[in-house]
Amino acid sequence: MKIFTTQLQGLLAKNEPDEDTLEDAARIICQAITSDGDLYIWSEGDLAGLSGQALSGSDPLKNCRELTSDHLPHLSPLDTLILASADRQSPAGKNLVQAANHAGTRLIGITSDAPLDENHGAPWTDKADVVLSNGVKQGLIPQDDGSRIGTPHLLAALYLYYPLYFAVTEILEDIDETD
């Protein structure tokens, strides 16, 4: 456990979210919340838990809804989609990005730094407005056979979620004070 904790602390310290990128993502989210648009989240795999936090956790994003296939035909340029997948080449992620881009929907990606497979084409993150990476490339604990375990995709993504949540909350409070 000590190795995992030490490695995780190092990963999180090295992967402090860039304030400008975080601010850009927060502004895009707030535009959807304060306009006639909708804020959606979709997540898969190791980052599926991020949707639960954003939708119904202790600190949910205001007016956030889970993206379903029923919403796809109704996406608009006023909407924002937060797409969270540790796999930057996820086929489902690529399909959602294509639908969002076609509709003019703003896209915020939350993903990892896992190696890309050149046989699976360009990553969906190439078409996102803002990308936040959790910095996870592989498991943190080496095994005797050379493999690695303890891949903290969700833990590191939540470490990105909270500064984003705080920035969104601060912007919305500023907007409420000026109204």
- The three-class DSSP label of residue 143 is coil
Mean pLDDT of the region 12-36 = 94
What's the confidence (pLDDT) of residue 17? 85
| Class of the CATH domain delimited by 2-8+21-178 | alpha beta
Query: Hey, what's the torsion of the CAs at 33, 82, 38, 72, to 10 degrees?
Result: 170
> Does the pLDDT value for residue 177 go beyond 90?
no
Taking the domains of the chain in order of start, what are their residue ranges?
Answer: 2-8+21-178
Rg over CA atoms, the chain: 17
What's the confidence (pLDDT) of residue 135? 94
What's the confidence (pLDDT) of residue 41? 98
pTM: 0.94
Rounded Cα distance, 81 and 94, in Å: 13
| Chain segment 71-123, per-residue pLDDT in tens | 999 999 999 999 999 999 999 999 999 999 999 999 999 999 988 999 999 99
Sign of the Cα pseudo-torsion (113, 119, 120, 121, in order)? positive
> Does the pLDDT value for residue 1 go beyond 90?
no
What's the confidence (pLDDT) of residue 29? 98
| Chain segment 119-135, per-residue pLDDT in tens | 999 999 999 999 999 99
- The three-class DSSP label of residue 135 is coil
